[in-house]
Structure 1
């Protein structure tokens, strides 16, 4: 199964959220909702990055254990 989203997509989502948080035209209520959304986005991003780090570590271990150089996991 091909990976649809790449690291750059996650980066773009995070920076878009940062821009929304900095929007000075938001009402207090809108800002509060955006803060909650940012917390959710941050939690998901953390899990994605942890998963990618683990995949990269596994690839590094395989690289040390084999003569052939394995490809990076999809999404990198």
Structure 2
């Protein structure tokens, strides 16, 4: 697997470190804040998607009739 939630976590912490740079000011700080917002938005979508996958797997594990079909999108 190329990208993991661990990688996402590392990217988020790296962004926090960039925001913590006390030498950033003015336009540079505004650009870094925009980047942070974009990263946070994408990270949120990745986390939502991960939760959907996990919830789907839980559903599959708990369904009473394992012979029933699942939506094509959820097939492995």
Q: TM-score, normalised by structure 1?
A: 0.80
The SS at the match of 1:5 is: coil
- Give the Cα–Cα distance (whole angstroms) in 1 for the partners of residues 48 and 13 of structure 2: 19
Greater RCO, CA 8 A, separation 6+? 1
Larger Rg belongs to: 2
Q: Which residue of 1 aligns with 2:10?
A: 12
Q: Detail structure 1 runs of 4+ shifted over 3 Å in the superposition.
A: none
Where do 5+ consecutive residues of structure 1 fail to align? 67-76
Moved more, 23-32 or 53-62: 23-32
- Give the Cα–Cα distance (whole angstroms) in 2 for the partners of residues 47 and 27 of structure 1: 29
CA RMSD of aligned residues (A): 0.9
Count the aligned residue pairs: 64
